[in-house]
Amino acid sequence: MAEGIGRTMTSSADSALAIARHVCDALDPVLTPHGFQAGQAGIGRDVEVTFCSAGHEFSARFPHLAYWMDLSHPAACVDLTLHAHPQPARLSRVWLEGRELDDVVRDGRYAVGPVDGVGLPLEAGLDRLARTLTVLLLQGSPHE
């Protein structure tokens, strides 16, 4: 093992890991009850956290959200992917299966108002995003 790898992290890596943990802590409780797996983080220039749901389960739970997705393959999955910029800590992108979440919300099917979590400081952005996702998932689910 190379010197320092796996033993110590730079302050920027520490910050990125803290952001990833914070995102998962904020959104896992919102998304896992609706069939998503807990967030999986990737650290690069930005922090990326992906929440995955099995395609067949997602389309059964959220037919009004799945209408534009091709989930016919048995191994299909639906990803909600969030990017956060670590310095300053803020959300920079939120995608649902390849579409900006703002576009999904603005298509007129959901009365959640603007997502607006993107660009806000991390805490405020996550609060706004969690509220938006809660409304979006509850409105999209015939089971709720």
**Look-up: residue for tokens 């979440």?**
101
| Residue 81 CB partners (closer than 8 Å, separation 6+) | 48, 49, 50, 51, 93, 94, 95
The number of angstroms, rounded, from the C-alpha of 22 to the middle of its chain's C-alpha atoms is 12
Q: What is the pLDDT of residue 117?
A: 85
Q: What is the pLDDT of residue 58?
A: 92
| Residue 142 CB partners (closer than 8 Å, separation 6+) | 61, 63
Q: What is the pLDDT of residue 72?
A: 83
- 59 vs 4: CA distance, rounded Å: 45
Residue 97 phi/psi, 5° resolution?
45, 50
pLDDT averaged per 10 residues, the chain (length 144): 38 81 96 96 91 93 84 90 91 92 71 68 92 82 48
